[in-house]
Every structure is written in structure tokens, then in C-alpha cells.
Amino acid sequence: MQDKPLDRLPPLQLLAAFEAAARHLSFTQAAEERFVTQSAMSRQMRALEEALGVTLFERRHRALALTEDGQRLHAACAAALNTLRVAVRTVREPHQRQLLALTTTPGFASLWLIPRLTAFTRAHPGIDVRLDAGLGNRNLASEGFDLAIRYSPVGTALGTQLFAESMLPVCSPRLVDELALPLREPADLARHTLLHLAMDDDSAGMPAEWEPWLSAWGLADLRPVARLSFSSYSEAIAAAVAGQGVALGRRPLVDALLASGQLVTPFDAGIASARAYRLIVDPAAKSRPAVKAFEQWLLTQCAG
């Protein structure tokens, strides 16, 4: 019996299913993405392994890991599928509206980007924007995103820096006007509720998000009267607007709320943040007119 040629491709639907399973490292999540059952996805991966004559996954207790062969095949499948996506999009674009896919953090999206997006969509009526706001770093190539705006340490070389940020306490004007609980100097924060993001390294007293600011002002041992933690930065800012406590404002994200008077700075005591916002563009998408238009618009907005 003649051996199969080494470069003979298995069914392409199996390779597409494998790319999803390898990316998620979960047959269940890959099945949901591919609109099949978990057992069907598992059978497809077995069929692919049999067709190739190798093991692609290490099937551990409630977990998957890629073998060396699986890693090599996943890298090739992800690159090939992205090339196909770009080609299909290039063919469709002259005949259809352009779609721009962008991923960023929830705080940047809700406080800075979304209020400005109307200006972009009005200036570019043929471009539809798909915005993904999450805390995880999306893989642009394999997950179909054109651009990412990421919150990265200052000095990171990847991408283009949009702007740095400074941090200072912000609250509702009602808290500043409350005579029973003065808020005139940093030490007065001990009488108030601190609002912050929930973090794994929060101690029982000082929220980790506040630590750099409190330490900079000689208040490393400050213990607030209470703390409220939130899963996203925009929720903490919404609580500050509602008068529930004092949040650590990140400028320029909170500049619009300060300008409108919904938030105030009880004392002028800002410090430079150790992080900045950077724009990452998928190299395969960089030449697309929609991507170039958004990149130029974004840089103009940040310069302003």
C-alpha cells in the first residue's frame, strides 16, 4: 500500500477547528466558537491526530496543553488563517462597508474613547467600528483585531505611545463640601472611603492601586475608614461621581469629568504614573484605508 505524501493536507475544517482549540486550550470553548458540541470537537481533534500520525494535545485533568508538534502546527495554522482573513477582507472591502476591529481596556474605552468615537464615525461614515473592551491582551493576528490600545509600563518599545498619565485623588464635589469630614489635605483621606480596582496583592489596609500615590506623599501607613473595590476602573470612577468615596483619578481619562464638574480634585497632589497608553497595529492590517484613517484620527485626538 502506497504511503500518503507527507505534505498531503488533512481536511481544512479540521485545521480551522484545531486552531480554535489550540488558541483556547479548551475543547468546550472551541466548540462554542465553532458552533458544534464539545464531543464533536473532541472527535475532530482525534481525527486530525490520526490523519497526521502525531499527538497534538496533552490531555490533562481538566486542562489541555499543546505538544511540541501541536505548538508548531498552531503557529502555522494561525498565520495561514490570518492571511486568509486579510485576503477575504481585501476582496470584500471595495464592495462592502469597511469593518475596523479594535481592542482596549474597559476604563480607556468608557472614559476616553467612546465619548470621542462619534467624531470618527461622522467623519468616516463608510467605516463600522467593532470595539472589544477587556482586561486580557488579545492576539491581534489570530483573533481578527486590527488595532489594540494597551496600558503598558512606561518605556515599553512596542507600538506608539499615545500619552502618559498622572494620578491624583478625585471625588464628588459633595464630599469636599461636607464639613463633618474635611478633605483639605492628603492625610484627610483616612476619614474617607477609598475606591479602587480589586487586585490580588491588596493588603487589609492600603489598596495596591493607591500604594504609589500614598507612598509618594508620605502616607504609606494610611488606613482608610473603608474601602470599595471594583472589577473595572470605570466602575470605581462611577462610584466617585456618585459620592461614594475618593478614587485615584488617571488623567487624561478623567479630564472630561473634571471639566464638567462631576469630579473635583480636593488637593493638587498628582504624581506621574508608571504606565502609559500605547497603540499597537497588526502589521497585516496597517495598509488598510480604514486602519490608516483611525490611526491618524487617534493620534490627532491624543495630540489635542
Let me know: does 11 contact 18? Beta carbons within 8 Å.
Answer: no
DSSP string, 8-57: PPPPHHHHHHHHHHHHHT-HHHHHHHHTS-HHHHHHHHHHHHHHHTS--E
- Could you tell me the pTM of the whole model? 0.67
Class for the domain spanning 12-90: mainly alpha
The amino acid at 253: L
Q: Which three cell numbers stand for residue 86?
A: 486579510
The CATH superfamily of 165-271 is: Periplasmic binding protein-like II (3.40.190.10)
Q: Do residues 33 and 20 touch, judged by C-beta distance below 8 A?
A: yes
Neighbours of 246 (CB within 10 A): 24
Please determine whether the domains at 12-90 and 165-271 fall in the same fold group of CATH: no
pLDDT in tens, 18-57: 999 999 999 999 999 999 999 999 999 999 999 999 999 9
For 167-225, write each residue's pLDDT tens digit.
Answer: 999 999 999 887 778 888 999 999 999 999 886 554 545 567 899 999 999 999 999 99
H runs (alpha helix) in the chain: 12-24, 27-34, 38-52, 68-92, 106-108, 114-123, 140-143, 173-177, 211-216, 233-241, 255-260, 289-303
Superfamily of domain 97-164+276-303 in the CATH hierarchy: Periplasmic binding protein-like II (3.40.190.10)
